[in-house]
Amino acid sequence: MSLRWNLVGIALGMAALLAPQSALSHATQIHAQSVQAIRLHAHYDTGAPMAQAQVIIHAPDAPSEVWGRGVTDRDGHFDFIPDDIAGRWTVQVRQAGHGVVAHIDIGAGEPVIMVTSAQGTWLQRAVMIALVAWGALGTALFAWRKKGRPDAFA
């Protein structure tokens, strides 16, 4: 492969990295409402449901143990009826590398829902772009260095 094609590949890779973030990935969101049970609605920030996503539930009295497991339906919904245990229930929803965690405080009144989702910071994104650029530069310099010399193993 010629150096020119390597440079074209590097340029295309850098263009993909510098594309708008929405074109590269999407975050996840979850909404919950209290009915006769706890109803979760897990979806991506694009609005697409997290269909068939894995759900793991932890009760407040044993947070290190799994209280229940399940799978969202095709619309990203999942219902469960918690035991009569007051405190903070933790619900994790994951699918294909995306995930969200909801903490549901159940007490005397309406459940209070707090949602957290792991999204990369700008610093993390900048470090990832710098690492990819460094790798591309190293690959290009390696190919350029070997171009003028005969291969010792040929």
31-58: per-residue pLDDT in tens?
A: 776 556 788 999 888 889 999 999 999 9
74 or 46, higher pLDDT: 74
| Pair of tokens at residue 40 | 């979760």
Please indicate whether residue 76 or residue 128 has the higher confidence score (pLDDT): 76
The answer, yes or no, to whether residue 77 has pLDDT greater than 90, is: yes
Contact criterion met (CB below 8 Å) for 87 and 60: yes
- Among 27, 48, 13, CA closest to 121: 27
Give per-residue pLDDT as tens, 85-127: 888 899 999 998 888 888 888 886 666 767 765 555 667 677 8
pTM of structure = 0.54
| pLDDT the model gives residue 138 | 82
pLDDT for residue 142: 80
CATH of domain 26-123: 2.60.40
Distance CA 134, CA 13 (A): 12
Q: Alpha-carbon distance 57 to 89, whole Å?
A: 7
User: Domain locations in the chain?
Assistant: 26-123
